[in-house]
Amino acid sequence: MNDQLDNEYFERYKRHILIKNIGGQGQKKLGNAKVLLVGLGGIGSTVLQHLAASGIGKIGLVDQDTIALSNLQRQTIYTYQDIGRKKVSVASNFVKKLNKNVDVTEYDFFLKTNDSDATKIIGEYDVVLDGTDNIEARELINQHCLTQHKPLIFGGVSGWEGLVSLLIYQKSACFKCIFTSSEERPAFFDCSSEGVLGVTTSLVGTLMVAETIKLICGIGQLLTNRLLICNALNGETEVLNTKKNKVCNACQYTN
């Protein structure tokens, strides 16, 4: 870097660098990191803003949806003029305008079972963030991350409530281990039927990025084998311990 670029770099990330357990080395780790974000809805919109602002070196965007009027209540990177446009395209442009130093790759498709392309793509990234809103997609992402031995950070929302956890190959329970009861699934993973407060997606997305930064920088206490639940209506948070389910079919890759 020349002096001008050095000065611009320091000025942009100065507030990160001043944090003792991040510093210059931690910021460099963020700049070298490759993060894949699956889902560009309410959670994904917030995640993307903070990933790009924090200086993640490469961000992959996976989504095949187009922007709809009903999205604007919580998907804050889109505008009324974007309705009908592809989310990956608009989201990519958003990142480029916010931080020109971030390398953005668009993947205009949905993940599928036994999808060799998806498996290959996930293998190219250091960590995967799940911003989807349905149980089928989440279980597929869980499966792909297990086969590629990639850490997975997921968040879910329902009304005023949200949850976040970090899943690491052979070190934690997987998604299906945690949500073994069908009664536990719909409330947190189907916002189309349960509804969701816009700011709840922002809260969860912000927590997911905080977990991503800790993981990349190797600092803090991670949410491995723990499930963080927050309730914005009551102003309460709770952390539950999770454990691997020995009969979980999804974890067959870890046996």
Q: What is the pLDDT of residues 110-143, one digit of tens each?
A: 877 677 788 889 999 999 999 998 888 898 899 8
Instruction: Classify residue 114: in a domain, yes or no.
Output: yes
In the structure encoding, which two tokens stand for residue 32, read together?
Answer: 């070298």
Average pLDDT rounded to a whole number, residues 184-192: 55
Query: pLDDT at position 173, please?
Result: 87
Average pLDDT rounded to a whole number, residues 1-14: 77
- How many domains is the chain built from? 1
Instruction: Classify residue 228: in a domain, yes or no.
Output: yes
Rounded Cα distance between 139 and 174, Å, is 9
Query: pLDDT at position 136, please?
Result: 84
Query: pLDDT at position 189, please?
Result: 57
Instruction: Classify residue 18: in a domain, yes or no.
Output: no
pTM, two decimals, is: 0.92
pLDDT tens sequence across 165-183: 999 988 888 888 888 744 4
Rounded Cα distance between 136 and 123, Å, is 20
Give 66-119 as a DSSP string: B--GGGGGT-TT--GGGTTSBHHHHHHHHHHHH-TTSEEEEE-S---TT-HHHH
Domain coverage including residue 166: 24-254
Instruction: Classify residue 8: in a domain, yes or no.
Output: no
Query: pLDDT at position 4, please?
Result: 52
Instruction: Classify residue 78: in a domain, yes or no.
Output: yes
Q: Which helix (H) or strand (E) holds 161?
A: strand 161-167
Instruction: Classify residue 3: in a domain, yes or no.
Output: no
Query: pLDDT at position 255, please?
Result: 44
Query: pLDDT at position 183, please?
Result: 46
Average pLDDT value over all residues in the chain: 89
Instruction: Classify residue 14: in a domain, yes or no.
Output: no
CATH number (domain holding residue 208): 3.40.50.720
Asked whether the predicted pLDDT for residue 65 surpasses 50, the reply is yes
Instruction: Classify residue 70: in a domain, yes or no.
Output: yes
